[in-house]
């Protein structure tokens, strides 16, 4: 897996991702302490609102940012957004009112809504070989998991010698270093997209996404991931501290079990995807994640919550989570022309975070109003619904090339110069506005 780091451009981009993630992790810890300083016992409400603002920014602004991203060089776009994030982080230690936190968080996440999909869409152009790209996806997943484990430890170590506002300085350094690393390489120019009006550019990614069967299934799986992930992210602290009466150290270990499961799956995915289809791996990952949450809920309803069960379940949920979301980049790469990739990645970014915008508050409300077991079983049921929808939407036969005809094109159209009935890698575009029905694929129409 590490062999792809021999590619200088990718190596610098991966390092840019890692240092930005570390900076973000430090900011997460510092933001919690800042909320406590300003709001005291209402800090949880402040952070919950900040999280909602983050999701709203992701859902609404990501497609808009990508609609205009091709107006500037890709490297310039990424560097500027990193510097915007650094500027916001630099301002955070100086806030004195809660509303200022909300405003700055919106600016920070608005920049991230533009940066992250554009960054993700760059990697397939840097690593055109599918095997290399698969390894890059797994390495990226490992980076996220390691950040979630190591950033709190680094923050705790720093807080023994400095006050928490200094952590925001680490965030600034992370984003500036990320910008410098992106600036140090030459990025491939994406194929210019056809000139379109603003509304069409904003909605094009979502329209291609929702017209592609495998991507509809990906959205259903994203909902399953959001349901199970919300139980872990939102409610682990209540399960460990309130239901089990354990310590902060136990909380850290419980969250680490989730991260460990995700990392183990990420290590194994490149080899697994060599012999099994994306469909089989992703559906199996979702099924395992959902089953683990179901069994934990049922066992907890009968015998009460037990820590050993929680650790095991969170490890399995983490493994299924990684197996489901890590290959998603392969589906996006396969489902659009190079010029449409940024729009597709932005659509996935926005739609998947829309799922979390639903499940995050639902997980918190269910836990508070009806307890842990009800929250587990309800979110597990939602995960099952997402899995069933994906099974129905994603056909077993999902070839890259599909023989088809164009009854709507004139006989002298260049696209059918080699014959009215032809075959090529089928993606949704201006000439192919809908996905063929299963019966059409089966008979090669």
Annotate 1-30 with three-state secondary structure: CHHHHHCHHHHHHHHHHHHHHHHHHHHHHH
Instruction: Please state, in angstroms and rounded to a whole number, the distance separating the CA atoms of residues 31 and 196.
Output: 41
Burial 228-264 (b: 16+ CB within 10 A, else e): bbbbbbbbbebbbeebbebeeebbebbbbbbbbbbbb
Tokens encoding 318 = 């983490």
Tokens encoding 131 = 């095997």
The pLDDT tens digits of the residues spanning 234-282 come to 888 888 888 888 877 787 788 888 888 988 998 899 999 989 999 999 9
Residue 215: is its pLDDT beyond 90?
yes
Residue 109 CB coordination number (10 Å): 24
* Confidence bin at 443 (pLDDT 50/70/90): very low
The structure tokens 């697994």 sit at: 272
Long-range contacts of 160-164 (CB under 8 A, 24+ apart): 164/29, 164/30, 164/33, 164/34
Residue 441: is its pLDDT beyond 80?
no
CA distances from 269 to 134, 196, 383 (A): 8, 38, 22
Partnered with residue 423 across adjacent β-strands are 403
Integer Rg of the chain from CA: 22
Residue 198: is its pLDDT beyond 80?
no
CA 45 to chain centre: 24
Instruction: Please state, in angstroms and rounded to a whole number, the distance separating the CA atoms of residues 154 and 8.
Output: 28
Residue 442: is its pLDDT beyond 50?
no
Cα angle value 330/324/59 (rounded, 5°): 80
Residue 16: is its pLDDT beyond 80?
yes
Instruction: Please state, in angstroms and rounded to a whole number, the distance separating the CA atoms of residues 436 and 75.
Output: 37
Tell me, yes or no, if the pTM score tops 0.95: no
Instruction: Give the DSSP letter of residue 188.
Output: P
- Provide the residue count of the chain: 445
* Confidence bin at 438 (pLDDT 50/70/90): low
Higher pLDDT, 154 or 290: 290
| 3-state secondary structure (DSSP) of residue 411 | coil
Tokens encoding 340 = 């449409």
The pLDDT tens digits of the residues spanning 337-366 come to 888 888 888 899 899 999 998 998 888 888
Instruction: Please state, in angstroms and rounded to a whole number, the distance separating the CA atoms of residues 130 and 127.
Output: 8
Instruction: Give the DSSP letter of residue 238.
Output: I
| Dihedral-angle region of residue 286 (phi above 0 means left; psi in -120 to 50 means alpha; beta otherwise) | alpha
The structure tokens 């992370």 sit at: 174
State the first-to-last Cα distance of the chain, in angstroms, to the nearest integer: 40
Domains of the chain: 8-187 (1.20.1250.20), 205-394 (1.20.1250.20)
Angle, helix 198-211 to helix 43-69, in steps of 10 degrees: 100
Q: What are phi and psi of 160, to 5 degrees?
A: -75, -20
The pLDDT tens digits of the residues spanning 91-102 come to 988 988 888 888
The structure tokens 């808009």 sit at: 64
Residue 33: is its pLDDT beyond 80?
no
| 3-state secondary structure (DSSP) of residue 289 | helix
Burial 4-28 (b: 16+ CB within 10 A, else e): beebebbebbbbbbbbbbbbbbbbb
Q: What is the DSSP string of 123-154?
A: HHHH--SHHHHHHHHHHHHHHHHHHHHHHHHH
Angle, helix 74-91 to helix 98-126, in steps of 10 degrees: 160
The structure tokens 């810890």 sit at: 29
Q: What is the DSSP string of 168-199?
A: HHHHHHHHHHHHHHHHTSPPPPPPPPPP--HH
- For residue 196, what pLDDT is reported? 67
* Confidence bin at 125 (pLDDT 50/70/90): confident
The structure tokens 């929702």 sit at: 210
The pLDDT tens digits of the residues spanning 276-315 come to 999 999 999 999 999 999 999 999 999 999 999 999 999 9
Instruction: Please state, in angstroms and rounded to a whole number, the distance separating the CA atoms of residues 164 and 104.
Output: 18
């Amino acid at each position: 897996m590490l062999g792809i780091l021999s590619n200088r451009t990718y190596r610098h981009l991966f390092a840019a991702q890692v240092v930005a993630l570390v900076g973000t992790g430090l900011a997460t810890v510092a933001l919690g302490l800042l909320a406590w300083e300003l709001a005291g016992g209402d800090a949880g409400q402040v952070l919950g609102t900040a999280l909602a603002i983050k999701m709203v920014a992701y859902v609404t602004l990501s497609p808009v940012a990508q609609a205009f991203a091709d107006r500037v060089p890709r490297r310039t776009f990424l560097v500027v957004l990193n510097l915007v994030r650094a500027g916001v982080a630099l301002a955070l230690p100086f806030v004195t009112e809660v509303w200022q936190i909300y405003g700055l968080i919106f600016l920070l996440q608005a920049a991230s809504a533009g940066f992250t999909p554009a960054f993700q869409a760059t990697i397939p152009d840097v690593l055109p070989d599918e095997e290399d790209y698969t390894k890059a996806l797994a390495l990226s997943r490992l980076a996220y998991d390691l950040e979630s484990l190591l950033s709190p430890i680094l923050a705790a170590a720093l807080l023994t010698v400095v006050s928490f506002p200094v952590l925001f300085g680490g965030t600034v350094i992370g984003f500036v270093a990320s910008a410098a690393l992106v600036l140090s390489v030459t990025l491939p120019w994406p194929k210019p997209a056809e000139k379109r009006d603003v509304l069409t550019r904003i909605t094009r990614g979502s329209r291609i996404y929702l017209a592609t069967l495998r991507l509809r299934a990906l959205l259903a799986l994203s909902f399953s991931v959001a349901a199970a992930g919300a139980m872990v992210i939102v409610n682990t602290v209540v399960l460990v501290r309130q239901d089990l009466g354990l310590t902060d150290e136990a909380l850290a270990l419980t969250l680490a079990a989730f991260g460990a499961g995700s990392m183990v799956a990420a290590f194994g995915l490149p080899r697994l995807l060599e012999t099994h289809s994306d469909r089989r791996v992703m559906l199996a990952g979702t099924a395992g994640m959902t089953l683990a949450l179901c069994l934990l809920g049922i066992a907890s309803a009968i015998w009460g919550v037990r820590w050993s069960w929680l650790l095991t379940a969170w490890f399995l949920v983490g493994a299924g989570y990684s197996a489901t979301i890590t290959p998603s980049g392969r589906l996006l790469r396969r489902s659009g022309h190079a010029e449409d990739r940024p729009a597709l990645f932005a659509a996935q970014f926005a739609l998947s975070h829309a799922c979390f915008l639903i499940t995050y508050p639902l997980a918190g409300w269910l836990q508070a109003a009806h307890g842990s077991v009800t929250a587990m079983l309800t979110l597990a049921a939602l995960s099952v619904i997402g899995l069933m929808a994906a099974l129905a939407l994603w056909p077993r036969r999902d070839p890259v090339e599909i023989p088809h005809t164009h009854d709507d094109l004139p006989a002298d159209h260049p696209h059918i110069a080699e014959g009215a009935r032809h075959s090529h890698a089928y993606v949704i575009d201006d000439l192919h506005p809908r996905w063929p029905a299963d019966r059409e694929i089966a008979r090669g129409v």
